[in-house]
Amino acid sequence: MATLGFIEYSDSSPEVRAVYDDIMRTRNTDWINNFWKALAHDPASLRRTWQSVKEIMAPGALDPLANEMIYLAVSASNQCGYCIASHTAAARKAGMTDSMLSELMAVVGMANESNRLASGYQVEIDEQFKPR
């Protein structure tokens, strides 16, 4: 179920299939999750989104586990059901333990609380914290 339905691998055009193949190769899996199958009706969006995700989530100054945990933290904060489910799975695959998940959620909760206290009390930014 998705607005435009899913495009399965077996029904995909060469352009879409090339992206699907790269997703499976990069992630070392043998299936494509619904997010990509829903996007595939617009091959340009599929390609562009995948290229960006691939580039951003690759190892760099942050390792893949850190990237996945930040992704999950944002998704939990935004309350995106699909994204919480898929990135909980991805973060676990990258090494997140149950304890790490619990601590991540505690930080997400606390940040959401203190964000509203800071804004709600109209707290002025300290000189020490201002960017140069």
Binders in 1-60 for a copy of itself, by CB under 8 A: 1-5, 31, 33-35, 38-39, 41-42, 44-45, 48-49, 51-53, 55-57, 60
With respect to a copy of itself, which residue has the nearer C-beta, 17 or 47? 47
Under 8 Å between Cβ of 72 and 104: yes
Rounded to a whole number of angstroms, the minimum distance from the CB of residue 21 to a copy of itself is 19
Binding mask 99-118 for a copy of itself (x = CB under 8 A): xxxxxxxxxxxxxxxxxxxx
What is the per-residue burial (b if ≥16 Cβ within 10 Å, else e) of 51-73?
eeeeeebeeeeeebbebbbebbb
**62: amino acid identity, one letter:** L
